[in-house]
Amino acid sequence: MADTKKQAQEFPTYKGRPLVRCGDEIYYGNMEEPYVIRMQIKTKKEVDGKELPDKITVQLMATDPYLSPRKQLVKSSEKKGMFLAMDIADIWLERALANKI
């Protein structure tokens, strides 16, 4: 029974960091670290009968719960396609966690 609880808490990862999706929002990174990425899918397009994200807002956010929502937002950009969104998300998160903001 302990094994099933452990498996239920595991998330898919990208470059060693968790990816958590809730509807049209995707969070990339560990909430225990100082920064995470929030990606919001704004529009979708249909390709070969499948719905794929088209325009995605990428936001670098501080995880400090004592900051106001405005101060939590560090950077924001809109990208076309999931590949470009994940590419910039990984770069921003790496730099932020290395204190190179």
Write out 5-17 in H/E/C secondary structure.
HHHHCCCCEECCE
Over the stretch 21-69, which tens digit does the pLDDT of each residue have?
999 999 999 989 999 999 999 999 998 998 889 999 999 999 999 999 8
Q: Who contacts 95 (Cβ-Cβ below 8 Å, separation ≥6)? A: 101
Query: Strand, coil or helix: what is 26?
Result: strand
Whether the CB-CB separation of 60 and 37 falls below 8 Å is answered with: yes
Listed by start position, the domains of the chain span 10-97
- pLDDT at residue 7 in the model: 47
pTM for the full predicted model: 0.82
6 or 44: whose pLDDT is higher?
44
Nearest one of 38, 34, 41, 28 to 75, comparing CA atoms: 38
DSSP for residue 3: H
